[in-house]
Amino acid sequence: MMNRFPKVNFIGNKEKISSWIANHIPTDVNSIFDAFSGGGSVSYHAKALGLKVISNDILEINHMLSKALIENNNEVLSDEDIDTIFEGTPTKGFMYKHYSNVYFFPEECKELDLYRENIKKLSSDNKKALAFILIRRAMVRKMPYSRFTINWEKIIQLRDEDYSYLKYKRKRAYHNDSFKAHFLSNLPAYNNAVFDNGQDNISIKGDIFDVATTVHADLIYLDPPYTGTMNNYFGFYGVIDEYINSKKIEPFQNNFVDKSTSIDLFDKLFSKLQNFKYWMLSYNNSSYPTKEQLIEIIGKYSRNIQVIEKPHVYKITGKEKKKTNTEYLFLIKNDSYEASSKTGRY
């Protein structure tokens, strides 16, 4: 079941350790709220285990990832849909105007502008989400270092296959493959990833500080951006939200980027989790606050805190080196949870 999760390529994803996380879900849990769902790897694993999953993220493209792969139980893209997405002639639109020679060449921006308008013609929101996450995969694949925090000079340098080969012994030809080629090569895996686990799963797009009290589930899983690490998610992917909506968007707040506000943000977050019997938090030893500081903050709300540790090897894209961290999983039983006090929209 697990091998069906497609290649999403999401910075900070928990794909490699999703089994380890899932193994610590208490046995009396039937529903899980993945509050910072990102690329959706934990939600997907939980869905495969048969749990009811509610996924949330503040970025629209991450909401679409969970809409297409978690909430969606059976809709896939047909040959007809593919014809619709790629029909017509590239046009000058939002991407051409704002991001030519910023992230992509002008002709490529025109293709993106055409595909967006075509995707809007698809017959359902699930199909649109599936199409947009395939375009996302193509955009990320064409971007050196797979994120939108690289300047144009560096982009064209790294998209120069001869230069890349001389300097790094890798041509990185995939940066120059077309959006359509990437889309089509990933299509079977994305279509195959859609499945029904017999539950009514839900995908939400919201700031967790607004939505936490509106959701009800047995367990909330928290995988926030790790403060003090490379964690500027709006910078990494915000342009995809702009592309989908054809408008400039202000970076979101409550982003865990700033060290001076991180402790207060965690405190505020834990004060809003009364709807959940269990809380699970992922963090690591090279981020801020420290494990001890987190235990102190959480200790205001619960006396029942367990921290499970695991060495986690990860690769920093671009730096081509591997680092080892200790990954923490906080498992907390909410002392003041009352099963009878079910409130909320979901």
Could you list the residues that contact ligand SAM (CB under 6 A)?
A: 10, 12-14, 36-39, 41-42, 57-59, 62, 207-209, 223-225, 233, 254-255
* Min CB(144)–ligand SAM separation in Å: 21
Q: For residue 71, with 0-12 CB atoms within 10 Å meaning exposed, 13-18 middle and 19 or more buried, which class applies?
A: buried
Measured CA to CA in angstroms, residue 67 lies from 21, 28, 190, 234, 245 at distances of 22, 26, 13, 19, 17
Residue (of 26, 20, 18, 58) closest to 42 by Cα position:
18
With respect to ligand SAM, which residue has the nearer C-beta, 114 or 280?
Answer: 280
Strands 31-34 and 217-222: parallel
**Measured from the CB atom, is 36 or 96 closer to ligand SAM?**
36
CB 117, min distance to ligand SAM, A: 26
Tell me which DSSP letter residue 100 carries: B
Please, what is the minimum distance in Å from the beta carbon of residue 257 to ligand SAM? 9
Count of positions (residues) in the chain: 346
Residue facing ligand SAM at closest CB distance: 38
| CA separation for the pair 61, 285 (Å, rounded) | 29
Between 6 and 12, whose beta carbon lies closer to ligand SAM? 12
Between 85 and 211, name the residue whose CB sits nearer to ligand SAM: 211
At 96, which amino acid appears? Y
Of 13 and 186, which has the nearer Cβ to ligand SAM?
13
Q: Would you call 124 exposed, middle or buried from its count of C-beta atoms within 10 A (0-12, 13-18, 19+)? A: exposed
Least distance from C-beta 192 to ligand SAM, angstroms?
19
Nearer to ligand SAM, 36 or 179 (CB): 36
Neighbours of 76 (CB within 10 A): 17
